[in-house]
Structure 1
Amino acid sequence: MEFTVKNVEETMAIAYKLGKFANSGDIICLNGDLGTGKTHFVKGLAKGLEIKEHITSPTFNIVNEYDGRIKLYHFDVYRVNDPDEIEAIGFDEYIFGEGVTVIEWSNYIKELIPKEHISVEIIKIPNKNLNYRKIILNYFGEKYNYIKEIFI
C-alpha cells in the first residue's frame, strides 16, 4: 500500500490507525532517511495503542518501553555496529513477547527480522516548497491480513 502525505499530522494519522488495530506480537520495521518522519510515525502508532507518555527516539538507549493498551517496544538501531549488540540486550524477548515492537532502521539488522512482519518505508518526495512524503506499507505473513481491511 502506498500513501502520499502532506504533513506530520497525516503521517501520524496513518500510524494511529495501524496502532488502533495492532496486536500483541506485531513487529513493525520502519525505514527511511534521517528527517523523514519515522519518530512521528511511532508517535501516531503509540497514540493508537493508547500510550499517554511522550515518545522520543531511543537513539542512545537502543530501546524505549511504553505502557498502553499493548506495551510498545521502540527500537532505534541506527548506531548499532553489530547485530550481536542487539541480541545481547534480549532482542528476541522483545520481538517474540507480548508487546508491539517497532524497529527504526531495521535494514541495519535485517538478518534478525522474522519473516512475518510489517514493513513501513517513508520517503521524502523532492520539492523545495513542500513537505510531502510517500509511505509504503507492506506486510508479510497471514497474521497481518487485518491491515488490508483497515486501510480500505
Structure 2
Amino acid sequence: MEWTNGELLWIAQSQEDTTRLARKLADLVVPGTVIALDGDLGAGKTTWSQAFAAAIGVREVVNSPTFTIIKEYEGEKLPFYHMDVYRLSQEEADELGLDEYFFGDGVTVVEWASLIDDLLPPRRLVISIQHAGDGSREFRIKGYGAPYAEWCQMLNEIGESEG
C-alpha cells in the first residue's frame, strides 16, 4: 500500500485481496455514496463490484449491467445501484436521471465512470483498476470531498497497521 498526493495505491495479489478492499470500503459507506470505477476491459471492475455488493449484504447474483445500464439490488446495509455506462453517450446518460441514484438512499457504483465525468457528483470516490502482471491488480483510489478523502486516509492507516 502506498499513499501519495491524496491517492492510495492498493495492490491486490489475489481475489481475496480484492474482496478485502471491497469489505473495507463497504464498512464505510453511507446513503448517497458514489463510487466511480474505471479500468481497461477485464481489469476487474465487475469482480470488485460483486465483492462490494456481497459486503453490503446483497444476496442476489450481481452481473455486469452492460446491456441493462443500471441494476438495482437490495442489500442488508443499503440498496446497491450498479451502473455500466460504457455503451452510453453523455447525452443518453444525462437523460437517465442519474442524480436520483447519486443522491438517493443507496450506494451507487458506476463502471466506466470517466465516460460521464461531467454528470458525476463532485464528491465521490474514484477507483482505477489496472493489470499489474501475474494476475495482480493495482487499485488507485482517490477521494474527492468529504467523506471520501477521509476514507482514503483511513484505508491507508488500516493498511499500515496490517502491514
- Whether these two folds match at TM > 0.5 is yes
Correspondence for 1:112 among 115, 119, 141: 119
Correspondence for 2:138 among 134, 138, 143: 134
Post-superposition Cα deviations, 1:71-104, rounded to whole Å, max 9, x if no partner, equal 0110001111x21212222211111111111000
User: What is the root-mean-square deviation of aligned Cα atoms in Å?
Assistant: 1.3
Question: In the aligned structure 2, how far is the partner of 1:147 from the partner of 1:122?
Answer: 15
Question: In the aligned structure 2, how far is the partner of 1:23 from the partner of 1:120?
Answer: 17
Q: 1:77 matched to which residue of 2? A: 85
The runs of 5 or more residues in structure 2 that have no matched partner are 1-7, 159-163
Q: 2:24 matched to which residue of 1? A: 17
1:148 and 2:153 are equivalent in the alignment = yes
Question: In the aligned structure 2, how far is the partner of 1:67 from the partner of 1:139?
Answer: 25
Question: In the aligned structure 2, how far is the partner of 1:46 from the partner of 1:120?
Answer: 15
Post-superposition Cα deviations, 1:28-48, rounded to whole Å, max 9, x if no partner, equal 000000001101111111122
The runs of 5 or more residues in structure 1 that have no matched partner are none
Question: In the aligned structure 2, how far is the partner of 1:112 from the partner of 1:142?
Answer: 18
1:40 and 2:44 are equivalent in the alignment = no
Matched-pair contact (CA < 8 Å) for 1:18–1:147: no
Percent of aligned positions with the same letter in both sequences?
35
Normalising by structure 2, what TM-score? 0.86
Structure 2 residue matching 1:86: 3-state secondary structure: helix
Q: 2:65 matched to which residue of 1? A: 58
Deviation at 1:146, TM superposition (A): 3.6
Question: In the aligned structure 1, how far is the partner of 2:141 from the partner of 2:41?
Answer: 18
Normalising by structure 1, what TM-score? 0.92
Question: In the aligned structure 2, how far is the partner of 1:147 from the partner of 1:124?
Answer: 21
Question: In the aligned structure 2, how far is the partner of 1:115 from the partner of 1:132?
Answer: 30
